[in-house]
Homo-oligomer: A and B are copies of this chain.
Amino acid sequence: MATLRDVAKVSGVSVMTVSNVVNGRPSVGEATRQRVLEVIAELGYEANLTARRLRAGRSGTLALVVPRIDHPYFGELAARFTDALRPTGRHLVLEQSGASKEGELGALSQARLQQYDGVLLSAVGLQFADVDRLDGGVPLVLLGEKPMPPRFDHVSLGNRAGGRLATAHLLAHGARRVLMLGGTTAPTDGGMGDLRTQGWRDAHADAGVPADPALVVPLAQLEMGWARGVVRGLVTDGPAFDAVFAVTDQVAVGVLAGLRDAGLRVPEDVQVVGFDNLAVGEHVGPGLTTVDPGNDVLVEHAVRLLDRRLAGDAPEAEHVVTPVRLVERGTTR
Number of chain A residues close to chain B: CB under 8 A: 56
Q: A93-B94, A112-B49 are in contact. Are A72 and B75 (CB under 8 A)?
A: yes
**Min CB–CB distance A66 → chain B (angstroms):** 10
| 8 Å CB interface, A66-93 against B | 68-72, 74-76, 78-79, 82-83, 86, 91-93
Task: Please tell me if the beta carbons of B46 and A54 are within 8 angstroms of each other in the complex.
Answer: no
- Give this chain's copy count: 2
Q: Is there a chain B Cβ closer than 8 Å to A146's Cβ?
A: no
Q: Is there a chain B Cβ closer than 8 Å to A106's Cβ?
A: yes
**A110 vs B47: C-alpha distance in the bound complex, in angstroms?**
9
Give the most central of A68, A135, A224, A283: most B CB within 10 Å.
A283
Of chain B, the residue at the smallest CB distance from A1 is: B137
**Min CB–CB distance A168 → chain B (angstroms):** 27
Pick the residue among B46, B47, B75 that contacts A69 (CB under 8 A). B75
Instruction: Report A's interface with B, CB cutoff 8 A.
Output: 1, 44, 46-51, 53-54, 59, 63, 68-72, 74-76, 78-79, 82-83, 86, 91-96, 98, 100, 103, 106-107, 109-112, 114-115, 135, 137, 224-225, 228, 253-254, 256-257, 279-280, 282-284
